[in-house]
Amino acid sequence: MVNPDFLSDNAHGCSPEVAEALVLAGEGRMAPYGNDPITRRVRTRCCELFETEVEIFPVLTGTAGNALAIAAMTPPWGAVFCHEDAHIHREELGAPEFYTNGAKLMPIACTPGRPDGKLDRDSLAHALAGGKRTKQAIPACLSLTNATEAGTVYTLGELLALCDLARQHELGVHLDGARFANAIVTLGCTPADLTWRSGVDILTFGATKNGALGADLIVVFRRELAAELALRYHRGGQRLSKMRLLSAQLEAYLTDDLWLRNARHANAMARRLHAGVAELAGVEVVRPVEANIVFPRLPSSLAERLQKEGFAFYNWSIFGDDVYRLVCGFSTTEEDVDALLEAIRR
Amino acid sequence: MVNPDFLSDNAHGCSPEVAEALVLAGEGRMAPYGNDPITRRVRTRCCELFETEVEIFPVLTGTAGNALAIAAMTPPWGAVFCHEDAHIHREELGAPEFYTNGAKLMPIACTPGRPDGKLDRDSLAHALAGGKRTKQAIPACLSLTNATEAGTVYTLGELLALCDLARQHELGVHLDGARFANAIVTLGCTPADLTWRSGVDILTFGATKNGALGADLIVVFRRELAAELALRYHRGGQRLSKMRLLSAQLEAYLTDDLWLRNARHANAMARRLHAGVAELAGVEVVRPVEANIVFPRLPSSLAERLQKEGFAFYNWSIFGDDVYRLVCGFSTTEEDVDALLEAIRR
Amino acid sequence: MVNPDFLSDNAHGCSPEVAEALVLAGEGRMAPYGNDPITRRVRTRCCELFETEVEIFPVLTGTAGNALAIAAMTPPWGAVFCHEDAHIHREELGAPEFYTNGAKLMPIACTPGRPDGKLDRDSLAHALAGGKRTKQAIPACLSLTNATEAGTVYTLGELLALCDLARQHELGVHLDGARFANAIVTLGCTPADLTWRSGVDILTFGATKNGALGADLIVVFRRELAAELALRYHRGGQRLSKMRLLSAQLEAYLTDDLWLRNARHANAMARRLHAGVAELAGVEVVRPVEANIVFPRLPSSLAERLQKEGFAFYNWSIFGDDVYRLVCGFSTTEEDVDALLEAIRR
Amino acid sequence: MVNPDFLSDNAHGCSPEVAEALVLAGEGRMAPYGNDPITRRVRTRCCELFETEVEIFPVLTGTAGNALAIAAMTPPWGAVFCHEDAHIHREELGAPEFYTNGAKLMPIACTPGRPDGKLDRDSLAHALAGGKRTKQAIPACLSLTNATEAGTVYTLGELLALCDLARQHELGVHLDGARFANAIVTLGCTPADLTWRSGVDILTFGATKNGALGADLIVVFRRELAAELALRYHRGGQRLSKMRLLSAQLEAYLTDDLWLRNARHANAMARRLHAGVAELAGVEVVRPVEANIVFPRLPSSLAERLQKEGFAFYNWSIFGDDVYRLVCGFSTTEEDVDALLEAIRR
């Protein structure tokens, strides 16, 4: 039997508050297609949380959220700049290309000596200079992920520098926030600071990986983009008739700081794991641990033994043949972490 | 405040069994992306229910289910034949066109004197004869809805005649089963009879309108279509990481005949409503009532009064300016129906 | 051996002036991609001819011209209204759907009793009323053909009435002018009157059917559409490096009224054919002959005999099983016509 | 006035034989859409030339030819491997993405120390290893250019090594032969050797850059791809009614070795230019000169002076800020070359 302890944040269930909200949401009749009171309350809550008027679109998957958000800012002949390890480029089987009707992703290679999964202003500037050859594609969008796929976090300063450059080149800015909560608790900043105040136009606000049972949310700060996005949302088969299935989860997620509490816990578990691993001679961790993921380099014999003992996790070969990804979630316990450390030590 | 009693099956909540299943599904860790035990059980259950090996793809919306199913059988230059009032043609903002990368829907007009929302063999044959002009589009798919958007039900004989003709022309056959349960209980036949035994290749098996909180299911009978469909599913942003959100609902839906009990009740409420309305002098019902929908012709003054009194329902102008759609759902009560009849009589 | 005398305007060669222009165009070096003097002169000539500033895009095929023009005004979720017999709907294998990334063509059936292949204001108004259901597609474009596929010609008044209605509904107007010259000589009006002064935004100005060897021209009157169209043109593989191949033909076509002389001749030959056919007892012509095409109803035995004798023409079954299409071109001679009449009489 | 002497092969006119063929092609009536004798003869000629049965599709532009050929082998979720400087990736504004409905180009960076614009087996193998992550895109196609955009030529051995590897990974192989003739005369091999015998499935056979006035040709060796390609060709607006416009040029091009004579001359002029430039102190040529292009590094003051004196050529910054591209064509004369060398020496 698989025991997917460190496999993915997606392997965890949901917070009890989310389950409870689902039960309540199942009762009674409500107008369909988002005209229900729960969805309206989620929108209001988001306006408060982000300290500005926003439009929202609940989605079932981060892939749909990212692809719709990017399509809202990118014509078919547009270029989307992103890190070469971005989820939109590596893992979504061309969903952004599908939703944009064929735009071109422009993956930017890691700056040598900076293996933190982040773009910097120089590498973006270099890519944009190449982007001047407008017979290739018309630069349209910058897509960043925070926390990144490498488990690192863009600081406000880094984010601002990138968004500024994007703005100078008239790019829209999309933030893939599959682990937005993890970034917020690391930085201790406000959601407004980490998004529109820094220059983000649309956020894909993840909840699935952090305590929901399956719900993400597109948050549109540049509100003039919302009308067309609503059409793409419908046409993409993402517009839920019983919107409350998603909205109820999102409401619980944003109530009483559940989202922050969950992320804080997951990050703490990752730090505990990192600390334990760092003590072990011969185990290098190849990425800074700033969110809820740890990337150790392990002898393959050790990795195989751990997996045989029931610890589930992926080999992450794009970071090195012997690198593995250990993900902590909102329901990871200290006992889970200590059991893994114990097993490594054996 | 809107009281959407007869507005839509989508206005209803979910069955308690579904809510309970969601709570259980939220517990513990499971492998993501459908490799969880609940999803596996749903597949097994479907194989039993349909008495054959099937492949399944849980989806959030019927629109996504329909569009993916059609795209699995239709190239970009393909023609999709359907009734002119089909949901895929009227209500989905071009989702089939999007997922097929630009196929052409070929809506077939109602046969005069047959206002039952159903295609017949002759009208399909006529459309296919036109389809021979292969500079227009290459005939690829027949999409039927059962129960139809008009609240009527194709009999097994009618379905077989259409599927046979489709097969002769080498078309794939898609069945939009948003109200599949309502058709099954009307006909008293088996799910196998109403699908693959009659010639259906892919079913979009609706649960959302009939007791789920938001879950439909693509059921693939022609299994060689599944491998490519899996790629479209991922790329379309429909592949849920925590698949259990949908699978748990579907499992409850298919357990202890919940799906049939719910549909039987909704159909009975529609018959009760129809019987009551039929007694009223001057109220014509413009479509046969064979599932859970009643389409009466009402004076607009009456319709407006009812709506003011809190009865929610849509004007259905494609059936006539003064025609209205009254939908009964799994949670519609006899009291709901009687209250509406009472109000009409006043 | 096929003798395609009345098969198609596309069966004819080119005017000697066009051949001569091609020879001259082959000499010497010129800047590529339309930055050559010939293309510039064609643009200047078009501005004069249409009495306004226009942008132009030479294209190889009418299909490409139509699809690009429509795509310039129609989003993927847009509706394109057209006659049910329009070339864009019947003959282009979904090119408009391809170039628009999946827009929906809304073919409008002939008004009963008006079998002239033309839309009228009422039928368009009716279709637009249906188009209010914006869950189907967002009305975006009206595409008309003049002269029509039925060999008839919209008068200025008819065109104006349709364009006015389109404008009220905020539709762009595309004119498929594959036989624009034939319409102009029938009406005796100016090109400006038959296009932008009546409300046309983009014209596909055909030359291939009327004396060029293969060259059509997109003429953009609503010039703010040109910048994006230029990108679609490049991305669609239509942007010719040696643009002079097309421009030289177009320049000759528009010089010394060659285009009008050719069309006048073709129309005259069709009138001669019509007059001859009308004299024959038992031969009905099912469409008014207003341009260069005659649609007689012929006994199939007669049609077969004629074809055996070497007269090439198509059966045109969408107008009736025993209807045939006889097309006169710029190089059809009186002898050609009389030989056919003679053969029919035998 | 621009004197585009070394700007582009596209700046040249056409060979007299091509002009003559166009004049002849303009005479008389022929069946449209490729059913004419000239097109049939071109197909027969290609079967002889390539020593195998082929299917052909004349196209107006290399961009259309490349995009159609790639789309014939690549699904929307497919990956197309190519050199990072490939024309399909750099210059076509996403035409391959458009025609494939959103496939992903996987540009492969130059191997350091091998600045010859060619892929080698190792770099392709490395990219394909990455391509195993099938959540990114499904490896579908390898697209090579020969002669390359860098003016170099893959040897038969190099081509075979790449195609073998592609075949092992079940990729289709496309050859962009915009300068195919230049490669053939450099290698002295047969067209069959440089295509299907080495493993190429579809060739885009360029004529426009080498003596035609505007005509390229898709040559399909894997003939089972042709039926679907014919549909894409029509739908893409590339299917010419008067096919003879292109076929006549292609027939002349392939008669009496015109295509080889033209390419031999252009290559010789490039060698003469190279030899002259190499003698000049301080002028480095940054790519091997194996076809008809020379890439010298020039002081910007010199480049500007030359351009002021009327010598037209592009700065080619992707090879270095001070690198320029000098292209020789079939009509470049020794006097042209010597005049440029003279001007450089001044």
DSSP states along A256-278: GGHHHHHHHHHHHHHHHHHHHHH
DSSP state of C303: H
Cβ contact, residue pair A97, D97, below 8 Å: yes
Alpha helices for D4-99 (secondary structure H): 16-25, 37-50, 62-71, 87-90, 95-99
pLDDT recorded at residue B113: 66
Alpha-carbon distance of C117 to A17, in angstroms, equals 64
Cβ contact, residue pair C241, D10, below 8 Å: yes
**Is residue A114 over pLDDT 80?**
no
Distance between D89 CA and the closest CA of chain B, angstroms: 22
Query: Chain D residues with CB inside 8 Å of C208's CB?
Result: 241-242
Q: How confident is the model at residue A1 (pLDDT cuts 50, 70, 90)?
A: very low
What are the pLDDT tens digits along chain C (346 aa)? 346 689 999 999 999 999 999 999 999 999 999 999 999 999 999 999 999 999 999 999 999 999 999 999 999 999 999 999 999 999 999 999 999 999 999 999 877 766 788 999 999 999 998 755 679 999 999 999 999 999 999 999 999 999 999 999 999 999 999 999 999 999 999 999 999 999 999 999 999 999 999 999 999 999 999 999 999 999 999 999 999 999 999 999 999 999 999 999 999 999 999 999 989 877 999 999 999 999 999 999 999 999 999 999 999 988 989 999 999 999 999 999 999 999 999 8
**Residue whose entry in the numeric block shows the structure tokens 């060796």:** D221
The average pLDDT across D261-266 equals 98
**Residue whose entry in the numeric block shows the structure tokens 């019983």:** A242
3-state SS, one letter per residue, for D188-207: CCCCCCCCCCCCCCEEEEEC
Alpha-carbon distance of D22 to D251, in angstroms, equals 10
B-C C-beta contacts closer than 8 Å? 66
* D14: CB partners within 8 A, 6+ apart: C26, D211, D212, D213, D249
Residue B229's closest chain D neighbor by CA? D77
Alpha helices for chain C (secondary structure H): 16-25, 37-50, 62-71, 87-90, 95-99, 121-130, 156-168, 180-187, 226-235, 244-253, 258-279, 300-308, 334-345
Determine contact: D227 vs chain B, CB below 8 A.
no
Amino acid at C213: L
Amino acid at B43: R
Alpha-carbon distance of C310 to C342, in angstroms, equals 13
Please answer whether residues A29 and B12 qualify as being in contact, where contact means their C-beta atoms are separated by less than 8 angstroms. yes
* B170: CB partners within 8 A, 6+ apart: B139
Determine contact: D235 vs chain B, CB below 8 A.
yes
Residue A327's DSSP bridge partners are: A293
* Structure-token pair, residue C112: 């009963």
Give the pLDDT confidence of D267-295 residue by residue, as tens digits.
Answer: 999 999 999 998 987 799 999 999 999 99
Alpha-carbon distance of B159 to B163, in angstroms, equals 6
Q: How confident is the model at residue A113 (pLDDT cuts 50, 70, 90)?
A: low
pLDDT recorded at residue A205: 98
Q: How confident is the model at residue B135 (pLDDT cuts 50, 70, 90)?
A: very high
* DSSP-derived 3-state class of residue B236: coil
* Structure-token pair, residue C188: 């005796």
Q: Which of A212, A180, A207 is nearest to A19 (CA)?
A: A212
**Is residue D1 over pLDDT 60?**
no
On average, the pLDDT of chain B sits at 95
D8 phi and psi angles, rounded to 5 deg: -170, 150
Q: For the range C254-257, what are the long-range contacts, defined as Cβ-Cβ under 8 Å and sequence gap of 24 or more?
A: C254/C42, C254/C45, C254/C46, C254/C49, C255/C17, C255/C45, C256/C17
Give the rounded distance of the alpha carbon of C89 from its chain centre.
13
Percent of chain D whose predicted confidence (pLDDT) is above 90: 91
Q: How confident is the model at residue A2 (pLDDT cuts 50, 70, 90)?
A: very low
Give the pLDDT confidence of A116-130 residue by residue, as tens digits.
Answer: 889 999 999 999 987
Which subunits count as partners of chain D given 3+ CB pairs below 8 Å? A, B, C
pLDDT recorded at residue A115: 75
Give the pLDDT confidence of A127-170 residue by residue, as tens digits.
Answer: 998 755 679 999 999 999 999 999 999 999 999 999 999 999 99
pLDDT recorded at residue B1: 39
Compute chain A's Rg from CA coordinates.
20
Give the pLDDT confidence of A6-63 residue by residue, as tens digits.
Answer: 999 999 999 999 999 999 999 999 999 999 999 999 999 999 999 999 999 999 999 9
* A240: CB partners within 8 A, 6+ apart: A33, A34, A58, A60, A246, B60, B61, B214
Residue C78's DSSP bridge partners are: C138
Better-predicted residue by pLDDT, C2 or D117: D117
Query: Chain D residues with CB inside 8 Å of C2's CB?
Result: 31, 35
Alpha-carbon distance of C156 to D263, in angstroms, equals 54
* Structure-token pair, residue A254: 């944003």
Please answer whether residues B136 and C91 qualify as being in contact, where contact means their C-beta atoms are separated by less than 8 angstroms. yes
pLDDT recorded at residue A133: 63
Residue B75's closest chain D neighbor by CA? D228
Alpha-carbon distance of A181 to A200, in angstroms, equals 16
- Between the alpha carbon of residue A131 and those of residues A88, A188, D263, the distances in Å are 19, 35, 33
* DSSP-derived 3-state class of residue D167: helix
**In chain B, what is the straight-line distance between the N-terminal and C-terminal CA atoms, in Å?**
22
Q: Which of D206, D240, D63, D207 is nearest to C237 (CA)?
A: D63
Determine contact: A31 vs chain B, CB below 8 A.
yes
B138 phi and psi angles, rounded to 5 deg: -90, 115
Distance between B99 CA and the closest CA of chain C, angstroms: 9
DSSP state of A296: B
Query: Chain A residues with CB inside 8 Å of B98's CB?
Result: 235-236
Give the pLDDT confidence of B212-235 residue by residue, as tens digits.
Answer: 999 999 999 999 999 999 999 999
**Is residue D108 over pLDDT 90?**
yes
Which subunits count as partners of chain A given 3+ CB pairs below 8 Å? B, C, D
* Structure-token pair, residue A299: 């002898």
* DSSP-derived 3-state class of residue A85: coil
Query: Chain D residues with CB inside 8 Å of B77's CB?
Result: 231-232, 235
Determine contact: D75 vs chain A, CB below 8 A.
no
pLDDT recorded at residue A281: 77
**Is residue B303 over pLDDT 90?**
yes
Q: How confident is the model at residue D132 (pLDDT cuts 50, 70, 90)?
A: low
Q: How many CB atoms lie within 10 A of CB B307?
A: 16
- Between the alpha carbon of residue C333 and those of residues B2, C262, C273, C305, D310, the distances in Å are 73, 12, 11, 22, 51
pLDDT recorded at residue D113: 66
**Is residue D2 over pLDDT 80?**
no
Which residue in the set B97, B130, B133 is minimally distant from C102, CB to CB? Answer: B97
Please answer whether residues A206 and A232 qualify as being in contact, where contact means their C-beta atoms are separated by less than 8 angstroms. no
On average, the pLDDT of chain D sits at 95
* Structure-token pair, residue C206: 């055909």
- Sheet containing A202-206: which strands, arranged edge to edge? A55-59, A216-220, A202-206, A172-177, A138-145, A78-83, A104-108
pLDDT recorded at residue B115: 75
Q: How confident is the model at residue D133 (pLDDT cuts 50, 70, 90)?
A: low
Which residue in the set B26, B28, B35 is minimally distant from A19, CB to CB? Answer: B26
Cβ contact, residue pair B234, D76, below 8 Å: no
Alpha-carbon distance of D66 to B83, in angstroms, equals 39
* D113: CB partners within 8 A, 6+ apart: none
Please answer whether residues C121 and C165 qualify as being in contact, where contact means their C-beta atoms are separated by less than 8 angstroms. yes
Residue D316's closest chain A neighbor by CA? A133
- A221-235 as b/e, with b when 16 or more CB fall inside 10 Å? bbeebbeebbbbbbb
Residue C205 CB-density burial (10 A; 0-12 exposed, 13-18 middle, 19+ buried): buried
* The total number of residues written for chain B in this structure: 346
Please answer whether residues C311 and C3 qualify as being in contact, where contact means their C-beta atoms are separated by less than 8 angstroms. yes
Give the rounded distance of the alpha carbon of C150 from its chain centre.
11
**Is residue A112 over pLDDT 80?**
no
Give the pLDDT confidence of D38-81 residue by residue, as tens digits.
Answer: 999 999 999 999 999 999 999 999 999 999 999 999 999 999 99
Distance between B316 CA and the closest CA of chain A, angstroms: 17
Please answer whether residues B269 and B63 qualify as being in contact, where contact means their C-beta atoms are separated by less than 8 angstroms. no
